[in-house]
Structure 1
């Protein structure tokens, strides 16, 4: 009995990642509750909490005093402790979710059993490499940003040195600034597309630092269109969900709704958090499947399957028309 093979495109990646998640639904649900739900809930709630804590309206002060005394409230308003702790919380749980879901999706792709204990255990092996790779990637982006700003500054000073006067309030200068900003954003998106597999490589191949970034750039060749589609799709979906929560928070604090007393407001938080959790789960799983597909078109996946199942007859889950490397292994 033959089954249809997934195609190496955007829809094929989403379909395969969905198949893996559905095949181990309880496992991925548990991981989502442990690591992604706190992350998504905090993203949805942060606009409301931020405005509640840092706006000085009588209504917000009254609500805040229900949970803390006036001294603690004043102290919180005068420090950056809350945003810093929130950022640290997001960063840590993002790494936890990346490590555990990537590990589970990778093993689910091969049809191996996935267990919660093994997924959590993978955190201890992947956390520091993920942390180091994240630091290196942000350093590279920071250096590019600094270099870009230096080039723009040098160009402006060069023009002024030649005797030309620059009107910083003119529409011409604003247009040049917008063009430069768009160019910078294009560079960032290009890096994101090329580094889409970096964290998967950290978890699966135990590499860290610059090496996952280089290898991701190599593997994604030929699949950059799919990587860009995944980035835009999940980026837009997650962005809309977070933006809608910010709009809801503004309506809540402006008195349009009854705030925490409104069932509609609470229901919106629950629904948005649930959808955001599913979007993040499928995003990580899709990147892992994309990694496997990229290895397939580079001829690496067949050798891994051959080594693992050397005594079995193996055919990759792609047909001749949909992937250039189809390998069947038979050992006598």
Structure 2
């Protein structure tokens, strides 16, 4: 028989504090993982607007030259194959490094949460072992979101026909957009733990999504707060990169080129830190959700088989203790 103290009250600050503690305790390890997986990802996100603009400008100039000779192509025509190849390469690079980063960081945070040794080789091995399950889960989540969009689009189409609205009506489009956004946000609030579940519990596909929906009960506000926090912070820096790419940085002045390079370096570094803490906080919240549902105490008891086990929760005062009593019947 096992009795446990009530789980600590978890909020966004508690989750962020615990994730910061784990990262600081293994700073060189997480720095290595960030350089391996997150930095290429963030560099791609930062540079993509500039590279796409450069390729579009060059493609437009090339087509404009041809149109002057042949008189067949209008000004500003961009080769669609170039854009598709660029977009495909960008999606592949971002997806691959993102999933590898999740697999390695979630594994390391999970080990650090229990105070186990955190090794770089084991983390890298976990990233590759979790890649396909994470990819299958990502595809499963996108299928559900796509199905939601189809249902909403079909419902909007039927409503427009019944009421007699114009399909291209701005009011109808706005309503459908807000409803879609609300549903997608609600889904991702429920699914926030899925990526940690894939890494820790070795599940994939729709199973982690269902498991996350079950575990997150009672913690939806923390999940929503975390999503908004990191989404707003990361979007701001991506917006900065987009604005910098649209500005004229090729006027030949040295200070503008230096500023452009400085912006890429700073934005990539900040995005790397934000993504690192995002994955770490999500994994820590997964552990808190297990504690709230009474799963964590049993897991620690079975692993360490001790009479008293100290949980790595930190509420700013004293650590929480779990007392485990064993029965022979």
Decide: shared fold, TM above 0.5: yes
Q: Do the aligned partners of residues 312 and 124 (structure 1) sit closer, same or farther apart at CA in structure 2, a change above 3 Å counting?
A: farther
Is 2:299 the partner of 1:297?
Answer: no
Q: Do the aligned partners of residues 26 and 253 (structure 1) sit closer, same or farther apart at CA in structure 2, a change above 3 Å counting?
A: same
Moved more, 21-30 or 301-310: 301-310
Name the TM-score, length of structure 1 as normaliser.
0.84
SS at match of 2:287: helix
1:163 is aligned to none
Name the TM-score, length of structure 2 as normaliser.
0.85
Unaligned 5+ residue runs, structure 1? 62-73, 161-165
1:30 is aligned to 32
Moved more, 189-198 or 313-322: 313-322
Between the two proteins, the alignment pairs up a number of residues equal to 304
Tell me, in whole angstroms, the C-alpha distance in 1 between the residues paired with 2:313 and 2:122: 29
CA contact (8 A) 1:6 1:12 kept: no
Tell me, in whole angstroms, the C-alpha distance in 2 between the residues paired with 1:188 and 1:14: 24
Match of 1:50 among 52, 55, 63: 52
Tell me, in whole angstroms, the C-alpha distance in 1 between the residues paired with 2:253 and 2:99: 36
1:125 CA displacement: 2.2
CA contact (8 A) 1:45 1:269 kept: yes
Q: How does 1:272-287 map to 2 (within 5 A)?
A: 272-287=267-282
1:174 CA displacement: 2.1
Match of 2:108 among 104, 108, 112: 104
CA contact (8 A) 1:21 1:28 kept: yes
CA contact (8 A) 1:260 1:266 kept: no
2:227 is aligned to 231
CA contact (8 A) 2:140 2:205 kept: yes
CA contact (8 A) 2:47 2:264 kept: yes
CA contact (8 A) 2:152 2:176 kept: no
CA contact (8 A) 2:104 2:126 kept: yes
Q: How does 1:183-332 map to 2 (within 5 A)?
A: 183-253=179-249, 255=251, 258=253, 262-318=257-313, 327-329=322-324
1:157 is aligned to 161
Unaligned 5+ residue runs, structure 2? 1-6, 65-76
Moved more, 28-37 or 147-156: 147-156
Is 2:121 the partner of 1:121?
Answer: no
Q: Do the aligned partners of residues 247 and 8 (structure 1) sit closer, same or farther apart at CA in structure 2, a change above 3 Å counting?
A: same
1:82 CA displacement: 1.7
1:65 is aligned to none
